[in-house]
């Protein structure tokens, strides 16, 4: 693996403009949905750079068709502000983006267009099935897209806690630790032994690990971010070297777009200072919509120099009862009868059924946190 130093130059902090709110006949006040809030947070924090506002038509169309912005920059998923046309008068020139009565940003509306949602679903999600949660969310979000420059009044913060670090703050923390190579790990699932295996294999090769669980909107049956974060803290306190791991949060909403979302996860982690990124089995997938290694295969089509972050690929891992540890087919000689499949889906299934996770699935301290979290829901 190549060792690329983290850049010494850091972006300036986001400037928040304390401007008086203007409300008139051509203004619309919008209470952001969870997904809109997550997208706004990623845009305003710099996590989605070079995308800094909700996309207009040219960027949307190019992104859908070619995984690139209109200027040719690699970018796999549209970040748009979809609204329902019946609540958006044609004369609208300004949208006030709100959350729980707080004025977060103002968009000066410069574009308005009707997106081809069927085309977006097929190209981005590779399906139009209403069984896919990302497709459902796409169609429910609205029939019109608006775009224009954003004026930020208050930075959105979806998560409270010391783990909330903006991209700039994360890069500074990495610099302070003296790490020259940093591997990012993305998950929306509760932590299990297979995750720990991936982390520690990567730490044998690289200076530091950014544990970066997604805390934005997920499916209703996913385990809450609060419980997952408690599990991560417990694991790190007991089983990881403290000077080699940085725990942060990734405020994005989950789209379940499989390969394209894996590419988005990698590109945005560059903004957090990662030089490497882990892509394992069915990254960002849901159900049986994508092949087991479809995400890894998409990276095969991208020029590594353009990608700008090195991908660490892992095959499916499992607990081998003969080896008595987590392994993969690369390291374990035993047949599948000796293997216990480890996955977030299996962990959720056991917890929802009231079962305690066995030691082969999860460290006992972590299992206790997850079980307690499920009982309290």
Residue in 223, 222, 248, 251 with CA at minimum distance from that of residue 36: 251
Q: How far lies 157's CA from each of 28, 154, 302, 352, in Å?
A: 23, 9, 33, 30
Q: Which of 208, 171, 243 is nearest to 8 (CA)?
A: 171
- Cα 146 to Cα 53, 79, 164, 182, 195, distances in angstroms: 11, 11, 29, 37, 39
For domain 27-152, give the CATH number: 3.10.400.10
- 188-205 tens-digit pLDDT: 888 888 899 999 999 999
Whether residue 268 has pLDDT greater than 60: yes
Q: Using 50, 70 and 90 to split pLDDT, how confident is the model at 25?
A: low
Fold of 167-376: Rossmann fold (3.40.50)
User: In this predicted structure, what is the pLDDT of residue 376?
Assistant: 64
Q: How far apart are CA 368 and CA 225, in angstroms?
A: 16
For 137-165, what is the mean pLDDT? Answer: 93
Specify the 3-state DSSP secondary structure of 68.
strand
Determine the Cα–Cα distance for residues 115 and 139; give it in Å rounded to an integer: 10
Domain boundaries in the chain? Answer: 27-152, 167-376
Q: Where residue 342 falls among pLDDT bands split at 50, 70, 90?
A: low
Contact 192, 362 (CB under 8 A): yes
Q: What token pair was written down for 290?
A: 């994508």
SS3 at position 134: helix
Q: Tell whether the model's pLDDT for residue 13 goes beyond 70.
A: no
Q: Lowest mean pLDDT of 67-71, 88-92, 331-335, name the range.
A: 88-92
User: Is residue 10 pLDDT above 80, yes or no?
Assistant: no
Can you give the pLDDT at residue 377?
Answer: 56
**Residues annotated as catalytic (active site), given as ranges:** 188-189
pLDDT (0 to 100) of residue 264: 98
CA 266 to chain centre: 9
**Each residue of 73-120: pLDDT tens digit?**
999 999 999 999 988 888 889 999 999 999 999 999 999 999 999 999
Whole-number pLDDT of residue 288: 93
CA–chain centroid gap for 88, Å, is 29
Query: For tokens 């949208």, what's the residue?
Result: 95
Please provide the average confidence, as pLDDT, over all residues in the chain.
89
CA dist., res. 251 & res. 32, Å (int): 15
Query: Is 267:279 a contact under the CB 8 Å cutoff?
Result: no
Q: Does 309 score more than 60 pLDDT?
A: yes
Q: Is the pLDDT of residue 7 over 70?
A: no
The whole-number pLDDT of residue 320 equals: 87
The backbone torsions φ and ψ at residue 215, rounded to the nearest 5 degrees and listed phi first, read -120, 5
**DSSP class per residue in 226-294:** HHHHHHHHHHHHHHS-GGGEEE--B-PPP---THHHHHHHHHHHHHTT-SEEEE-TTTT--TTSS-TTH
Q: How far apart are CA 352 and CA 373, in angstroms?
A: 11
- 27-152 and 167-376 share one fold: no
Q: Would you say residue 18 has pLDDT above 80?
A: no
How long is the chain? 377
* pLDDT given for residue 23 in this prediction: 47
pLDDT above 60 for 1? no
Number of H-type helices and E-type strands within the chain: 12, 15
Mean pLDDT value of segment 27-38:
94
Pinpoint the alpha helices (H) of the chain: 34-45, 57-66, 117-120, 133-140, 167-177, 193-203, 225-239, 259-271, 294-299, 304-307, 344-352, 364-376
Per-residue pLDDT at 11: 53
Give the range with max mean pLDDT: 260-264, 340-344, 369-373: 260-264
Q: What's the mean pLDDT in 142-156?
A: 94
pLDDT category at 140 given cuts 50, 70, 90 is very high
pLDDT(29) > 90: yes
Distance CA 322, CA 159 (A): 42
* Closest to 186 (Cα-Cα) out of 240, 261, 135: 261
Asked which of 21-35, 133-147, 220-234 is least confident by mean pLDDT, the reply is: 21-35
Using the structure block, give the residue that is written with the tokens 């892992």.
Answer: 314
- Give the pLDDT confidence score for residue 91 in this predicted structure: 84
User: How many other CB atoms sit within 10 Å of the CB of residue 326?
Assistant: 23
330 has a pLDDT exceeding 70? yes
Predicted pLDDT at 15: 47
pLDDT at 14 exceeding the cut of 80? no
Q: In this structure, what is the dihedral angle of CA atoms 199, 204, 206, 211, given to the nearest 10 degrees?
A: 20
């Amino acid at each position: 693996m190549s060792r690329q130093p983290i850049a010494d130059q850091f972006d300036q902090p986001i400037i928040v403009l304390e401007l008086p709110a203007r409300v008139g006949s051509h203004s619309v006040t919008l209470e952001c949905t969870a997904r809109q809030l997550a997208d706004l947070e990623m845009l305003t924090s710099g996590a989605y750079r070079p995308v800094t506002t909700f996309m207009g038509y040219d960027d949307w169309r190019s992104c859908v068709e070619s995984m690139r912005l209109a200027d040719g920059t690699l970018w796999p998923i549209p970040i748009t502000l979809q609204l329902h046309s019946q609540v958006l008068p044609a004369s609208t020139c300004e949208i006030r983006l709100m959350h729980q009565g707080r004025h977060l940003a103002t968009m000066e509306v410069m574009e308005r267009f009707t997106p081809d949602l069927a085309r977006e679903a097929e190209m981005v999600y590779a399906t139009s099935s209403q069984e896919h949660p990302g497709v459902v969310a796409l169609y429910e979000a609205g029939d019109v897209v608006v775009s224009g420059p954003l004026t930020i009044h208050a930075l959105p913060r979806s998560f409270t806690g010391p783990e909330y670090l903006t991209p700039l703050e994360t890069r500074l923390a990495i610099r302070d630790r003296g790490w020259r190579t940093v591997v990012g790990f993305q998950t929306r699932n509760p932590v299990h032994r297979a995750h720990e295996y991936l982390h520690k294999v990567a730490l044998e090769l690289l200076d530091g690990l950014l544990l970066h669980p997604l805390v934005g909107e997920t499916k209703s049956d996913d385990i809450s971010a609060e419980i997952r974060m408690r599990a991560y803290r417990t694991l790190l306190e007991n089983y990881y070297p403290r000077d080699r791991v940085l725990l942060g949060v990734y405020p994005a909403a989950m789209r379940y777009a499989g390969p394209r979302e894996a590419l988005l996860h990698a590109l945005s982690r560059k903004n957090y200072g990662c030089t490497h990124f882990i892509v394992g089995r069915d990254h960002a997938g849901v159900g049986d919509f994508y092949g087991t290694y479809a995400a890894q295969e998409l990276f095969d089509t991208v020029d590594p120099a353009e990608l700008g972050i090195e991908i660490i690929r892992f095959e499916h891992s499992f607990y081998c009862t003969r080896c008595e540890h987590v392994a993969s087919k690369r390291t374990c000689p035993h047949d599948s009868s000796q293997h216990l499949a480890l996955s977030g889906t299996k962990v959720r299934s056991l917890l929802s059924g009231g079962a305690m996770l066995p030691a082969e699935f999860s460290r006992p301290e972590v299992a206790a946190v997850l079980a307690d979290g499920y009982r309290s829901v």
